[in-house]
Structure 1
Amino acid sequence: MPCCALLPLMLAIPLLWPGLTAASYSQAEKGSQPARPRWRGKRGWMWNQFSVPEELNTSSHHVGQLRSDLDNGNSSLQYKLLGDGAGSIFVIDNRTGDIFAKQKLDREERSLYILRAQVIDTITGKAVEPESEFVIRVSDINDNEPKFLDEPYEAIIPEMSPEGSFVIQVTASDADDPASGNNARLLYSLLQGQPYFSVEPTTGVIRISSKMDRELQDEYWVIIQAKDMIGLPGALSGTTSVLIKLSDVNDNKPIFKESLYRLTVSESAPIGTSIGKIMASDNDIGENAELDYSMEEDNSQTFDIITDNETQEGIVTLKKKVDFEYQNHYRIRAKVRNRHVDAQLTEYHVEPSTTVIKVQVTDEDEPPVFLRPYYLFEIYEGRPHGSFVGVVSATDPDLRKSPIGYSIPRSKVFRIDDNGTIITTNSLDREISAWHNLSVSATEKYNTQQISQVPVYVQVLNINDHAPEFSEYYRTFVCENANPGQVIQTISAVDKDASTEEHHFYFNLSTEDTNNSSFIIIDNQELVFACKRSLSCTSPS
């Protein structure tokens, strides 16, 4: 029932408020109002409980009547109104005590007024009743719609959250009197957001009604309505918007953009060369989209793959040198996984995504290749000019098999022909140089820029081409009284030729000296020169 319709009924219920009771009540209402004197006189005032509906569009609305029980119709009594709003908002008929409201009132601005009443004898000018307080209440009507005070609303929830998950709570307030019927009793409803969301009618709690996939839609606008009067006819309403964003969960595994990648690498490329990139896509974002690429084990000998953390690409690199002539194409398989996987979401990441990479090795014009890393030859010293030393051999590793030319730079002792045969140009003397270190060059005749070198070591072998020589020139002195057999000098010899063991020399005097000499030679590896007979002390000439 509208509160305006209650006014006649309220005014029809007489309620006598004694002056002291009214004063006490008004003090409780006012709280900090200064206390007024408490009269102990006889009860004399009579009035009804006063109430004025708010928002009345009238310039004069009868509120009620104040009356003293001393008023017997004597025209000498006069009523006066004092206090809040007296004379401006409320006026009194000083003869009858009828009170009128002159202005439209708003309960939300002020819900009660405390006034004082007097009755004066106009003949004597004295009060015939003690001054008394009374209250005029402003009764509520449903003139305020619900308002959401905490706007704007925004919530973030994980995608794929189960039904019934809490999202956010919205709250509206109504300025009407909560004690006055259903004016401030609210009900919430969802105007926009079905079928993914629902709202609890009495609490404003928004919950999930259906699972949502961020990759299909990452945010939703939900409109909530609040109605007062628990939604009955005549209710007022207010609305608010809620922006609900879905945060990402790792519910997508990466997928290669291509099922086959074709890459090329030159056979001359060094280890570590980047030969191409592959790319997988992941519909997740942020950390959930970080990837790790790898090669299947069978393909990990020649190639490797690393992850570019900035671009999330897989960079294919050369792990081992390739040779076009040995193998000119490879078929490898790469795989990709998410770097971070939630243990609760492993169902989405059971098998990694794979792709095939075909690598074509391109031929390069490579320099000649010698059959050996080095060559070691032997030749006896003293061999004539043009003697054979050895043969080196190099080939063109490329398909066209270019003819090879050979040369020995900066050598005056050896030369080499187009077959790789090395011969001498001068006689070799081991005693002058026992080793010759050469560098043989091989040059492609179709491309003279392609050159290779190989070390060649030539050892000159010994022949017995040198006679023994005494180690030094000997001058020996002997005393004249030297005894026969006395050692007077030890002599030795050397040989420039090489020997597999120590040299053994044989010493002897000439035949002439053997017969006429006063000395003998004893061969004891080292030659011992001794007296043969007693001598006078002489010195050699």
Structure 2
Amino acid sequence: MLESVFKRSANPHTFFSTRPLICTCCMCKSHHPELHSNSDKGDGSVKYILTGEGAGTIFIIDDTTGDIHSTKSLDREKKTHYVLHAQAIDRRTNKPLEPESEFIIKVQDINDNAPMFTEGPYIVTVPEMSDMGTSVLQVTATDADDPTYGNSARVVYSILQGQPYFSVDPKTGVIRTALHNMDREAREHYSVVIQAKDMAGQVGGLSGSTTVNITLTDVNDNPPRFPQKHYQLYVPESAQVGSAVGKIKANDADTGSNADMKYTIINGDGSGVFSISTDKETREGIISLKKPLNYEKKKSYTLNIEGANTHLDFRFSHLGPFKDVTMLKISVGDVDEPPVFTMTPYVMDVYENAKIGTIVGTVTAQDPDSANNVVRYLIDHHTEEDTYFTIEANTGTLKTAKGFDREETSWYNITISASEIDSPKLLSHVQVGIKILDVNDNPPELAGDYDVVVCENMKPGQMIQTISATDRDNFANGPRFHFSLDSSLPSNPNFTLKDNEDNTASILTRRRKFSRTIQEVYYLPVVISDGGIPSLSSSTTLVIHVCACERDGRVRTCSAEAFLSSAGLSTGALIAILLCVIILLAIVVLFITLRRSKKEPLIISEEDVRENIVTYDDEGGGEEDTEAFDITALRNPSAAEELKYRRDVRPEVKPTPKHPTSSSLDAIDVQEFIKQRLAEADLDPSVPPYDSLQTYAYEGQRSESGSVSSLDSATTYSDQDYNYLGDWGPEFKKLAEIYGEIESERTT
């Protein structure tokens, strides 16, 4: 039977054994455990063999004696036990003398690990003024030694630094406040050192430490305080309203929101002139000006200012009140000020028909200083509106400088500046609004161009159109409008006008049925008067067209001439235009016929003419030959003044008129007129040829070859009756007489 025998050596780290084959050893090197077989007689015939965890490396065995030795130190925190197998064999035959036995070597713990704080250093806060014993933090230290064996892992906590402000529980490691009402304002930061020691704190135990940084957080336990009970402040009277004129501050030992405060003016004669607000960042009271200052009226003000916390803690209300009061005296400084207008702004009015130089109004400004200097006035010229008025520099009286038209501009806004004679750079300005009052200077007129239509099948009393009016004047001089027919004309049998008394009027028929074949257009003069004083009126003629309509009143067709008439051409004018066209066509045909019937030229041969004569021996161009002869010169000699230049050559220099004026031409007969024209053509140096003859070769009734003109008759031109031509008859008769004289001259 194999058994283990353990002997205590002189070394304190020895093996101990408990049967069966369970051994313990310390962490040092040792060899005292031994194995022994009953078969071992001590003669060395038995050999011991060791196998298993660490065999041959950590543990070796003496194969003769069975002593087991460790070759290196053991660490229980790395491996707590080893499983080994031992066997005794015959050294000579190598046969087992006994079965293999298993035994376990347990590593016995020793205190070789100090306690450790794994989470340090710590940072923690605790409110100031906390009660004594208030828990701050719990710290924990760990020990790697075996907690089940001895006191190697039994830790005790203690405080090395931080007393008498804090304490620590030895068993739990809970840190608590050790004083009552700790004041942050006295001391804010604390560094506490906590120690953890094993072996239950006994001498020889191992220890570790950590640092706990504790900060006292603020609570509102301090009221605000002004450093002084009285303050002085200087403010010039020229300070602008709304501007900041000074600052004041109360101190508060607290921080954050506990130091926030609000400033208030609680009383004083300056409470209505000054205001105070709080700057949240700097916690200062900003004093601002609410009303203008005047040194001449009041030279100083007194304010009582309160500063109070906005966040209060009821737990510390007994430390209050959390506010403080101080007195502020403000002195007003005297400065040279610009003039002050008595009103701002000014509003004036003037009628639009006011003459230049009419007084509109007066502005007044005074020197606010005690010197009371003289003030001068001036219009600031920036826009065209400023030129419509002038101002007297000494009195401030505004006058008109131009005429007005309310319908174009109804308001004028100008700026007037005032300055002291002694200090012209100190200016004050005021706005003056001038309203242009209306006068009745615009007559009413129709609101639009009305195209009035009456149907042929109309009945008496039927309305055909509603008209309205407009007036550029305002309501007082415009509506209400009154409509009526022109009383100076006879009563209209066809239409009448009804005033609807609502600024409109209706056109009504007065008879039954209208006919386009009888009359296509009617004219209705309408008089419109306004309600102004004095009243103005205007007369407008409405054009009414007769149209064929459906039974439901829809217009089917209207005469084209009616619409032409609506464009401004009357029937008589159209007839006159058509008659003129017919006469001109007849004259053109007459001259073409005469030129074609000519048998021999006026000048037979150039050899028979001793002077340089240009012959125009060409056929007429019919209706296209409009340059052959201008008959208007013979019909109306005064019109020839405009057509005296030759048409075949464009003169470079405009010739000087040499013929009599139009008034004298009327008294000259046609023969003399033609002679003058020939003389002018010969003497005109502006166009070639310089010696030319203007030929008027037209055959008359005395021509040997006869006349092919459709106007030829048995009677003479003067005996012809031209009354069928109407107003053109006398003119055409005179033209015929001229033709006769020309024909007589030619044959002669």
TM-score (norm 1): 0.62
User: Of the candidates 4, 13, 26, which is equivalent to residue 53 of structure 1?
Assistant: 26
Matched-pair contact (CA < 8 Å) for 2:309–2:322: no
| Selected match of 1:356 from 318, 327, 342 | 327
Query: Which SS does the other structure have where 2:32 is aligned?
Result: strand
Task: Name the counterpart of 2:298.
Answer: 327
Equivalent position SS for 2:119: coil
Which amino acid in the other structure matches residue 331 of structure 2? Q
Work out which of the residue numbers 73, 76, 99 in structure 1 matches 2:45: 76
2:19 pairs, out of 16, 21, 46, with 16
Return the alpha-carbon distance in structure 2 between the equivalents of residues 177 and 255 of structure 1.
62
Q: CA deviation at 1:293?
A: 1.5
Name the structure where helix makes up a greater proportion of residues.
Answer: 2
1:232 correspondence with 2:202: yes
CA distance change for structure 1 residues 335 and 122 in 2, over 3 Å: closer, same or farther? same
How many angstroms apart in 1 are the aligned matches of 2:241 and 2:264?
18
| 1:244 matched residue in structure 2 | 214
User: Could you tell me how far 1:185 is from its partner in structure 2?
Assistant: 0.7
| TM-score, length-scaled by structure 2 | 0.46
Q: Is the 8 A contact 1:266 1:363 kept in 2?
A: yes
Could you say what secondary structure the match of 2:147 adopts? coil
Q: Kindly indicate whether the alpha-carbon contact (under 8 Å) linking 1:51 and 1:63 is maintained by their aligned counterparts in 2.
A: no
Instruction: Name the residue aligned to 1:170.
Output: 139
> Counterpart of 2:149?
180
What secondary structure does 1:117 align onto? strand
The verdict on how the C-alpha distance between 1:68 and 1:16 changes in structure 2, with shifts beyond 3 A counting, is farther
Tell me the equivalent position of 1:111.
Answer: 80
Alignment of 1:182-201 (within 5 A): 182-201=151-170
Matches of 2:343 and 2:250, distance apart in 1: 47
| Contact preservation (8 Å) 2:50, 2:87 | yes
Structure 1 residues 369 and 188 mapped into 2: Cα distance closer, same or farther (>3 Å)? closer
Contact 1:275 1:318 in 2 (8 A): yes
Letter of the 1:332 partner, please give it.
L
- In structure 2, the CA distance between the partners of 1:9 and 1:396, relative to structure 1 (3 Å rule), is closer
Q: Does the residue aligned with 2:220 lie in a helix, a strand or coil?
A: coil
More strand per residue: 1
Give the aligned partner of residue 488 of structure 1: none
Partner Cα separation in structure 1 for residue 236 and residue 169 of structure 2: 69
256 and 449 in structure 1: CA distance in 2 versus 1, 3 angstrom threshold: same
1:344 Cα deviation from its structure 2 partner: 2.7
Deviations 1:264-303 (A, max 9, x none): 2232333212111112222222222222211114453111
Number of the residue aligned with 1:279: 249
Higher-Rg structure is 2
SS at match of 1:148: coil
Pick closer, same or farther for the CA change 1:404–1:127 going to 2, 3 Å: closer
- Give the deviation of 1:238 after TM superposition: 1.3
1:157 aligns with 2:126: yes
Q: Residue 203 of structure 1 is aligned with which of 172, 175, 178?
A: 172
Matched, 1:344 2:325: no
| Equivalent position to 2:271, from 292, 297, 300 | 300
Equivalent-residue separation in structure 1 for 2:175 and 2:334 (angstroms): 68
- Whichever residue aligns with residue 334 of structure 1, its letter is I
2:226 counterpart (256, 280, 292): 256
User: Shift in Å at residue 305 of structure 1?
Assistant: 0.5
Q: Secondary structure at the match of 1:207?
A: strand
Seen in structure 2, the aligned counterparts of structure 1 residues 77 and 274 have a Cα distance that, compared at 3 Å, is: same
1:316 deviates by: 0.3
Q: In structure 2, how many angstroms separate the alpha carbons of the residues matched to 1:276 and 1:358?
A: 11
Which residue number in structure 2 is paired with residue 137 of structure 1?
A: 106
Structure 1 window deviating more from structure 2 (157-166 vs 400-409): it is: 400-409
How far residue 445 of structure 1 moved from its aligned partner, in angstroms, is 5.1
User: What is the Cα deviation at residue 241 of structure 1?
Assistant: 1.2
Structure 1: which 5+ runs fail to align? 23-48, 377-390, 423-438, 458-475, 477-541
Structure 2 residue 239 is the aligned partner of structure 1 residue 269: yes
Mean Cα displacement is larger for which, 271-280 or 122-131?
A: 122-131
SS of equivalent residue, structure 1 residue 365 = coil
Contact 2:158/2:195 (<8 A) preserved? yes
Cα separation, partners in 2 of 1:169 and 1:293, compared to 1, 3 Å:
same
Query: Using the alignment, how far apart are the partners of 2:204 and 2:255 within structure 1?
Result: 49
Are 2:224 and 2:322, in contact at CA under 8 Å, matched by a contact in 1?
no
Q: 1:6 to 1:207 in 2, by over 3 A?
A: farther
**Deviates most, 218-227 or 342-351:** 342-351
| 1:304 positional shift | 0.6
Measured after TM superposition, the shift of residue 260 of structure 1 is 3.1
Find the aligned partners of 2:13 and 2:335 in 1 and give their Cα distance: 111
TM-superposed deviation, 1:450: 6.1
Taking every aligned residue pair, what percent have the same amino acid on both sides?
A: 45
> Residue 196 of structure 2: SS of its match in structure 1?
strand
Shift of 1:404: 6.6
| Superposition deviation, residue 330 in structure 1 | 0.6
Report 1:285-434 matches (<5 A).
Answer: 285-298=255-268, 299-367=270-338, 396-402=367-373
Question: AA paired with 2:303?
Answer: I
